[in-house]
């Protein structure tokens, strides 16, 4: 670590009365402390906004990768990041038919992927 920079950092730590004796910190400790403070301050006093998007599964029940990629790309271009996603069972789609006393039918669960996006409000 640059000697001038280290001297300046140690002076700031001493002035802030952090309870940390800067003379006991190694260069690696100082780098770690600076990184932690930077991360802590990065999210301080910032408001976040959220958006929710759903993508329905294909008719065969599989995930629609193309639609997912499109949604992710669209939100990514606008500065959003994917915060969380889950699968939601929307309901049951059932069809039945009766012919000459014989009944046949299908019963399928419809799922959708729920995507929750986040971005910082400037």
Domain count, the chain: 2
Residue 17 has pLDDT above 80, yes or no: no
Strand order of the sheet with strand 81-99?
A: 47-56, 102-121, 81-99
Same domain, 28 and 51: no
Per-residue pLDDT, averaged over 38-50, amounts to 75
pLDDT in tens, 72-100: 999 999 999 999 998 877 666 566 666 66
Residue 84 maps to which CATH number? 3.30.110
Same domain, 7 and 60: no
Same domain, 57 and 86: yes
Structural domain range at position 16: 3-42
Same domain, 64 and 117: yes
Question: 24 in the Ramachandran plot: left (φ > 0), alpha (ψ -120 to 50) or beta?
Answer: alpha
Same domain, 62 and 101: yes
Q: For the purposes of burial, counting CB atoms within 10 Å of the CB of 13, is it exposed (0-12), middle (13-18) or buried (19 or more)?
A: buried
The percentage of residues in the chain with a pLDDT greater than 70, rounded to a whole number, is: 68
CA distance 66 to 70: 6
Same domain, 30 and 87: no
Q: With bands split at pLDDT 50, 70 and 90, how would you rate the model's confidence at 44? A: low
């Amino acid at each position: 670590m640059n000697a001038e920079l280290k001297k300046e950092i140690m002076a700031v730590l001493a002035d802030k009365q952090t309870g940390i004796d800067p003379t006991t910190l190694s260069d690696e400790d100082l780098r770690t402390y600076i990184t932690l403070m930077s991360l802590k301050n990065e999210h301080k006093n910032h408001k976040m906004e959220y958006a929710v998007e759903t993508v329905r599964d294909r008719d065969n029940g599989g995930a629609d990768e193309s639609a997912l990629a499109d949604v992710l790309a669209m939100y990514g271009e606008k500065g959003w990041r994917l915060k969380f996603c889950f699968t939601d069972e929307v309901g049951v789609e059932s069809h039945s038919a009766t012919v000459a006393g014989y009944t046949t039918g299908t019963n399928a669960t419809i799922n959708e992927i729920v995507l929750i996006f986040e971005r910082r409000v400037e």
